[in-house]
Structure formats: C-alpha cells, structure tokens
Structure 1
Amino acid sequence: MNNIPALKLGIAAVSRDCFPMSLSENRRKEVASEYAKKGLEIFECPTVIENEKHMRQALAELKEAGCNALVVFLGNFGPETAETLLAKEFDGPVMFAAAAEESGDRLMDDRGDAYCGMLNASYNLKLRNIKAYIPEYPVGTAKEVADMIEEFVPIAKSIIGLNNLKIISFGPRPQDFLACNAPIKQLYNLGVEIEENSELDLFAAFNEHKDDPRIPAVMKSMEEELGEGNKMPGILPKLAQYEITLLDWVEQHKGSREFVAFANKCWPSFQTQFGFVPCYVNSRLTAMGIPVSCEVDIYGALSEYIGTCVSEDVVTLLDINNTVPADMYESEIKGTFDYTIKDTFMGFHCGNTAASKLSSCEMKNQKIMARALEPDQEPNITRGTLEGDILPGKITFFRLQSTADAKLTAYVAEGEVLPVATKSFGGIGIFAIPEMGRFYRHVLVEKNYPHHGAVAFGHFGKVLFEVFKYLGVEELGFNQPKGMLYKSENPFA
C-alpha cells in the first residue's frame, strides 16, 4: 500500500543537569539495542538534551536524519522545559517514555528518578497544550520501553497520515441520509483537507476517459481477480473506465497532500447516468489503500483511512444492518459459539468489500436498487456489486465522528465474523461482539452514531483507542463488559 506513511522513527534521550548525562545516554542505547533485536530501525539522536540549546541541536539532527516521529526518552528525571519544547517544535507525533531502575545495587550512584520525572513531563505537556502519546504504563526496562515504541508505530503512522490526508468527495448525499452528514470543521482541526465536488464533476471526468487505452489492462486485472465470479463480463469496460477516472483524479487533485481517501455518491442517479453500480471499483481502490466510502460518508472514509494506517491491511465500511433471525441463531450459533443472539448482527454493504476479505466473490447486480430502477427485467444499470460472505475471523468495528455541534466522538469494539453462512446478498457477514446489545443501545443509539461502521480485520482496539485519545476525542465509547454500567443504563433493568 503506497497511500500510508513510511515511518522514520527517532529516539532522543533527555537528562536533568543534576543527574549523570551518561546514565540517560547509556539507557537510551540499551533501548535502541532492544528495539533493533525486533528487526526494527530507530535513529538514535546523538545529542542528549539537558537544556534548550541541546534541544535545538537535537532537532537539527533529527531533521537531518529524516525523522517524522519521535520518542522522548527520560533516562533520568529529565529537564521538563527542554523536553516538552522538543515535543512542541518537532514536526510529527511524539511519544514519552521513562526508564525504570535496573538494580538495587545501583541505587546509590545510578538512580535516575525518571518515574518522578514523567509526572513533571506530563504536567508541562498539558500546560503547553502539546499532544503526545504516553503509554498505559510509561516506565520500564529497556526491553519494555522497546515494546512500548513498537506499539507507538501504528499510532504515529495514523497521525502522520491524517496530517497529510485529503478526503475527496463527490456529492451531494442521497436523500434521507442525514445520518452520513456531519460538520467538516473537525476535519480541519485534525489536519485533514477536504475537497467537495459535484456528481456532475465526476460524470464529466468519467466521460473524458471513454476509450482510454488503459481500459483493457484494468479489465484483465479485474478478470483475474474475479475468476469464476466474473458473471457479468459485459460491465467490466465501464468499471475499468471508472477506476481509471478515480485514480487520475487522485493524481490531479491531491495537491500538497500525500494521501487520499474518497467519499462518493453511489445511488440513485449514479446508476441511471453512469450505467452501473460503483461498488466493485470502490472495493478495488480500498484494497490499494485508498478507502472509498459509500453514500458520501466523509467521516466513514476518515475512519477507514485510520484503520488502513493502523492495520496496514484492507478495511471496509459496512452498515450495522440487520439482526440474525432466531431460527438461524438457534441452528447455527447457539451452543457452538459463546454469544447470545443480542451479541450478533449482520454487517452489510452492497458490494464494496475487497475480494481478499470475502470467502468467495461474484459480480452481481444491486438487488435493492433493481427493484426501483429496473424491475421485472434483466439487470443492466444495477450491475457492479461484489458479493459474497465476509471471511470469518477477528475484527474491530469502529468509527470517528463529529457530532452535530462539531465535537469529536468515537467508538471501538472488538469481535469476530462467525463462520456461518449468511444466506443473504451483498458483501455481508454475521458479526459477534460481546455485549453488543448493550453497546448498540447505550453507545450507538444513545450517542447518535450513523449506521456505517468501519471494519479492520484483526483486533486493533488498543491502538485505535490510543489514536482517538491522541486526536482529542471527547467521548470514546466501547462495548463495556457485564457489570460495568453505561451512564444511561438502568441499574434496575
């Protein structure tokens, strides 16, 4: 994927002037050595920072090395002014960690008191309104700090990605989809750029790509991906033309930004004018690391992009769609999996999930749209969905959202896709999330979230939670376990 940041991580040790500088320097070297044992690279800033002049020197060394993320390491107590100014002036995400004491035999001459220094560092960061990642328990041995740094990597990639992201939208949103509408103010607060266009702009660009010489090569790629699922080959020329249109738009419109995501109109006039459904193309771009959200869901695209950075894998965007029928639950889930029926639901979209995340895939037409646009006839303009059951396995369901009054909120919930046939249509799976029923009522409904949720394929809740904290999310929901009541939950129920 070439649409997410490449990380160049640096580590800078800090030292309070009444402690031995060598203590901090040697502890930094031990951390870097442990990190290298993981097969990972980190630039060791040669200057140990005691004061503001050292801070300027270290900044120059980090910049020359091309570092875009930084670990500030308190090898001893640390200078609270210089270390927090370093975080303020460094151009990229910053993590703070501190050294634990190594041995009882060394407490007379080599005690560093970084446990204490971390308190002052955090206080000074708050005073200066500086964002920084501080691990759950930020004090440790060299190996433990190396583990913390490894956990910082996907967080740093997400922050760098957002600061260099442009979301390109083609609208307006479909009628009665106010749920996908949210103020864009928070995008700018996050460092994200937005380019909003008309559906007519997209249509004009699409028409300009008629008979593009690259179309046959894209069609061949589609044929190879679909294999036996290539049931509607006649629609491939238009889909290939559309894919090229979007990729060219990226290159022509990303401007000063490095990374791009789309939030695109996909119905109902799309079908009548373009002559197809764009779902399959959306799935292919998302597999390239360029998320394309449905129904002009701008915060859905934003969420997908964060998931791409965190997982370095394909993501998808699904409706939190329908309940699992009681008879299906009784015959296929109960007694086999440790979930109640309220823990389960079906996640669905028309056909935007990448082929690599489906058990099997087939090109079909959009069943719901066909009812209205071409009833009782052979599908034509509603062709273009990629359908199949979603691969079973671990997932994380999440979303970053702006409220109507422009406050950042988010939720994260880990669960799994069950290996149970859905017996339905679209890109769809049976999802199971512990205590989903309560989460649905007291987070999704209570906090007014839209029906779209981003899905990362794996358990990434810990990282996503930290990303959202770093971004300044004011209210962060999760699927609380039994015995942990939500604020709005009736304790007598």
Structure 2
Amino acid sequence: MNNMPKVKLGIVAVSRDCFPESLSVNRRKALAEAYAKKYDAEDIYECPICIVESEIHMVQALEDIKKAGCNALAVYLGNFGPEIAETLLAKHFDGPKMFIAAAEESGDNLIQGRGDAYCGMLNASYNLKLRNIRAYIPEYPVGTAEECADMIHEFLPIARAIIGLSELKIISFGPRPLNFLACNAPIKQLYNLGVEIEENSELDLFEAFNKHAGDPRIEDVVKDMEAELGEGNMKPEILPKLAQYELTLLDWVEEHRGYRKYVAIAGKCWPAFQTQFGFVPCYVNSRLTGMGIPVSCEVDIYGALSEFIGTCVSEDAVTLLDINNTVPADMYEADIKGKFDYTHKDTFMGFHCGNTTTKKLSFCAMKYQMIMARSLPEEVTQGTLEGDIVPGSITFYRLQSTADNKLRAYIAQGEVLPVATRSFGSIGVFAIPEMGRFYRHVLIEGNYPHHGAVAFGSYGKALFEVFKYIGVDVDEIGYNQPKGVRYPTENPFA
C-alpha cells in the first residue's frame, strides 16, 4: 500500500538558557536511543546541530531537519525550555508537530540535574495558543526516555494522516444519485483541510472506459482477479469488463493526480451505471481499496475522506458500510446471547453491496447485485463481491461536514462477531457497547448519513487526536458513551 506518506520525525531538543544545556543534550540522546531499541530507528531523526535556546538556534534547527527530509516534528523539552523559540519552531515547521517533556531522573540529582520541564510544558502550551499553533500534546506529555519514545510512536499514525490530508486529492464521478441527499455535503471544508477535489461527470468516466477497450493489460488483470477470487469467481464472463474498468480508474488517478501525492475516489455506481457500463463496480472498488486507494460508493466524498484517514492511521485496508439493519431477535438469541457480552441493542449489521476487499472477508463470491437485480436485468448487475466480514476488533467512524459547513465526527470501537450473517453483500454482525444509545444520540441527533468507515482494529485514540488536530471541536466528536453517562439530548427520565 503506497498511497500514504512515510513519516520521518525530527526530534529537536530545546533548553532555557538559565538551565544546564547538558540536560537537554543527554536527555535527547537517551530518547533517541530508547526509540531505536523498541521501534524502527528510521522513523526518527535526532537533530544534532544545536539545542534550541534562541530564535537563531530555531532557524538552524529548522534548516537541519528540513535537509534531513523530516515531515513531522517532536519538540522535546529537555528542561524548562524557551517558550518563544520553541513555539516559533512549531510555527515555522510545515507539518504535524508534537510537544513532549522530560521527567526528572533521580531524587539524588535535584539540584544541577533538575530540569523543570513539567513546568515548561505549561508555558509551551500557553504560547502555542497565543500564536494559534496546532500541535499534538499527549494525554500525559512528561515522561522518561522510554515513555517519551512510546509517545512519539503513538504520534506517527496521527502525523501520517495529517500529512496525507495535506497532499490528498479526492476524485469524484457524477452527482449523488437521486433520493440520495444523505451523502451530500459542502466541499468547502475539504479546502479548509488542505484537500483538493476534482469533480467529474459520469460521461467523462464512460468515455475513458470505452477508450480502454482492447487494452493489452486487460488479460493480466483478469488473471490476477481469477487468482484472488479462486472458487468465488462465480461470474468469470464479466472479468474482462471489470479489468477494463480497473485500468480506467488507475490510469485516471495517474493522469489526474496533478501535484498531489495521494488520491481517494468517490465513485458512482447507480442508477444508470449498470445499464450503460454493463456491470456494477463493487469488486473493482474493493480491489482499489485493498491497494490503499479508498473508493467510496454513491459519490460519498466525505466517506472517501474518512476512509483515507483510516487507511493512513491503520496502514491497512478499510471499508465503507451502511449502518444497515438490526440483528433479528431469533438470531441474537441463538448465536449471540450468552456467548458474547452484548445486549441485543448493542448489535447491528454493517453492509454494502460488495466493496470490501477480499483481504477483509472470511470467504467471498463475486456474483450479481441482488437489490439492483430486483428492477434490472441480472446480467447488468454482475460484479459485486459478497462475503462475511472477518471477525475481530473494529473502529466505526466518520468525518463529516454539516449542511452549514461545520466539521463534526464520530468514533466508536467494537468488534465484528464470529456469527454467520445468513445474508448477502459484504456484510458482518457488528457489536459496539451501548450502540443503541449511540445510534440515537450521536448518529441520528448529529444528522449523520448512513455510511460509516470501518478500520480493522482499535484506532479510536489516534482518530480522536487526528480530528482534534485538524480542527474539529471536541464537543463535535461523538463517541459511544458508557452506561450511566448521559448524552446531552438523552431523556433523563427514560
């Protein structure tokens, strides 16, 4: 998956000139050594050129980490630190930044060896606010070399998402389908986030697809599809068209990315797509998402944006699903109750026609799209990927612009249960603690559309920090409140 940035974080130590500089020097070295012992040393760069005590040192450090190719910054308070120079360092660094501070080492060395970075972090945060500088500060930002190394490692996925957004282009095809205003949202917030968008007509896409007829690469893509699907290749006759479409999208990405490094796609898939192209694009969408190029269904631009963020955070494929249907009571009684610690209202089924990569399905079959085939000839609805989603921990989340152009988001951690769905499409039985209340008081009350992004793993902590960093008000980040903690809109007498 190469559609995301590689983070190289520069560690710059700072020092107040009335404190021993050696504290910052030695503590910086210890931090770099601790990181290299536990993680990949190539993630970080220890800026050796100076300890930042002044504005001149700040400029020298900036030039050094830029020359070293750093795209993220850790300002490390080895002692109290110079509040002006250290925050100017963050101001002038073009990329995500964090602030961490050194804990004192020994009760036997609290005279010349006391650094007071615990105090300095307060001044740093105050000055960051004065200068309107966004920076990540961990939950408890003061620690030993080993603890600060862990903080840096936790920052990497956050930094990866922020860098990715600054260099992202979302390519969309067509307006939202009729009666599908749920996925419609103003694009102004994309520009506020530094994201570019290229909006195209379905006719542009259809023209490009037709120009790829007879493409000599189709045969190799078909072979790759056959190998991926195995016994699940239920519609082999449609593979050449699907391969032609995949090449169309991949070529479009390369020809239209412009100066942007990373791309996501918001695609059209109905109502006229099937009758004109002669297939549905679900399986191709799943393959591109598996490559690290998220493709949302139904021209869901903020869905594609959310998927890309999750891809960067998890360094893994994600998916986009409808928060779709309840688990039938008899199914809950037979397969869930007493086996898993969830109430009936904690469970639901997440579904989409067939956009989830085979890597995240327990089994798969590529066939026709049942819902569309109810009103169209079955032969033009072929190309959907069906299968139960792999059991395991998940994070359900979404970043969204409201109709009045405000950013909001939600995050909920849970799991896909190892329960057979007995249904169709890319689908799974999901369980999220207190889902019933979250559904009513976050999803419905917050006017979110039915599409939610799914990252495979527990990534709520990182996603929450990403959303905070990019400017989502913390009061606008919904999550599944634990039992006994009331939502503002929840009836206290219920």
Task: Report TM bin, short chain.
Answer: over 0.9
Secondary structure of residue in 2 paired with 1:373:
coil
Secondary structure of residue in 2 paired with 1:238:
helix
Secondary structure of residue in 1 paired with 2:375:
helix
| 2:440 corresponds to 1:437 | no
Residue in structure 2 matched with residue 400 of structure 1 by the alignment: 399
- Deviation above 2 Å: which 4+ runs of structure 1? none
CA distance in 2, matches of 1:336, 1:5: 41
One-letter amino acid of the counterpart of residue 459, structure 1: S
| 2:180 corresponds to 1:173 | no
Secondary structure of residue in 2 paired with 1:105:
coil
User: Which of 113, 116, 129 is equivalent to 1:113?
Assistant: 116
Residue in structure 1 matched with residue 278 of structure 2 by the alignment: 275
One-letter amino acid of the counterpart of residue 45, structure 2: F
Secondary structure of residue in 2 paired with 1:380:
helix
What is the CA distance between 1:222 and its match in structure 2? Answer: 0.1
CA distance in 2, matches of 1:485, 1:171: 41
Residue in structure 2 matched with residue 45 of structure 1 by the alignment: 47
Count of aligned residue pairs for this structure pair: 489
Secondary structure of residue in 1 paired with 2:379:
coil
**Counterparts of 1:19-34 in structure 2 under 5 Å?**
19-34=19-34
What is the CA distance between 1:148 and its match in structure 2? Answer: 0.3
Residue in structure 2 matched with residue 489 of structure 1 by the alignment: 490
Residue in structure 1 matched with residue 129 of structure 2 by the alignment: 126
Percent identical among aligned pairs is: 78
CA distance in 2, matches of 1:490, 1:26: 56
What is the CA distance between 1:8 and its match in structure 2? Answer: 1.1
CA distance in 2, matches of 1:459, 1:7: 21
CA distance in 1, matches of 2:75, 2:2: 28
User: Which of 183, 187, 196 is equivalent to 1:193?
Assistant: 196
What is the CA distance between 1:290 and its match in structure 2? Answer: 0.1
- TM-score with structure 2 length normalisation? 0.98
Residue in structure 1 matched with residue 245 of structure 2 by the alignment: 242
Secondary structure of residue in 2 paired with 1:242:
helix
- State the Cα deviation string for residues 204-258 of structure 1 (Å, max 9, x = none): 0000100000000000000000000011000000000000000000100000000
Q: Is residue 303–residue 320 contact of structure 2 (8 Å, CA) maintained in 1?
A: yes
CA distance in 1, matches of 2:191, 2:88: 24
What is the CA distance between 1:293 and its match in structure 2? Answer: 0.1
CA distance in 2, matches of 1:39, 1:490: 48
Query: What is the CA RMSD across the aligned residues, in angstroms?
Result: 0.6
- State the Cα deviation string for residues 61-91 of structure 1 (Å, max 9, x = none): 0011000011000001111111111111111
Residue in structure 1 matched with residue 163 of structure 2 by the alignment: 160
Secondary structure of residue in 2 paired with 1:424:
coil
Q: Is residue 76–residue 102 contact of structure 2 (8 Å, CA) maintained in 1?
A: yes
Select between 100-109 and 253-262 the one with higher mean Cα deviation. 100-109
CA distance in 1, matches of 2:383, 2:271: 14
Residue in structure 1 matched with residue 337 of structure 2 by the alignment: 334
What is the CA distance between 1:196 and its match in structure 2? Answer: 0.4
What is the CA distance between 1:490 and its match in structure 2? Answer: 1.1
Residue in structure 1 matched with residue 264 of structure 2 by the alignment: 261
User: Which of 137, 142, 150 is equivalent to 1:139?
Assistant: 142
- TM-score with structure 1 length normalisation? 0.99
Residue in structure 2 matched with residue 233 of structure 1 by the alignment: 236
Residue in structure 2 matched with residue 3 of structure 1 by the alignment: 3
What is the CA distance between 1:472 and its match in structure 2? Answer: 1.0
CA distance in 1, matches of 2:105, 2:491: 49
Secondary structure of residue in 1 paired with 2:351:
strand
CA distance in 1, matches of 2:402, 2:136: 25
What is the CA distance between 1:40 and its match in structure 2? Answer: 1.6
- State the Cα deviation string for residues 415-451 of structure 1 (Å, max 9, x = none): 0000111110000000000000000000000000000
One-letter amino acid of the counterpart of residue 363, structure 2: S
- State the Cα deviation string for residues 374-424 of structure 1 (Å, max 9, x = none): 2xxxx2100000000001111000000011111110011000000111110
CA distance in 1, matches of 2:117, 2:192: 33
What is the CA distance between 1:120 and its match in structure 2? Answer: 0.8
CA distance in 1, matches of 2:40, 2:75: 18
Residue in structure 1 matched with residue 71 of structure 2 by the alignment: 68
CA distance in 1, matches of 2:444, 2:178: 21
* Structure 2 unpaired stretches of 5+: none
What is the CA distance between 1:39 and its match in structure 2? Answer: 3.3
CA distance in 2, matches of 1:128, 1:148: 24
What is the CA distance between 1:171 and its match in structure 2? Answer: 1.1
Residue in structure 1 matched with residue 351 of structure 2 by the alignment: 348
Secondary structure of residue in 2 paired with 1:450:
coil
- State the Cα deviation string for residues 111-158 of structure 1 (Å, max 9, x = none): 111111111111111111111100000001111000000000000000
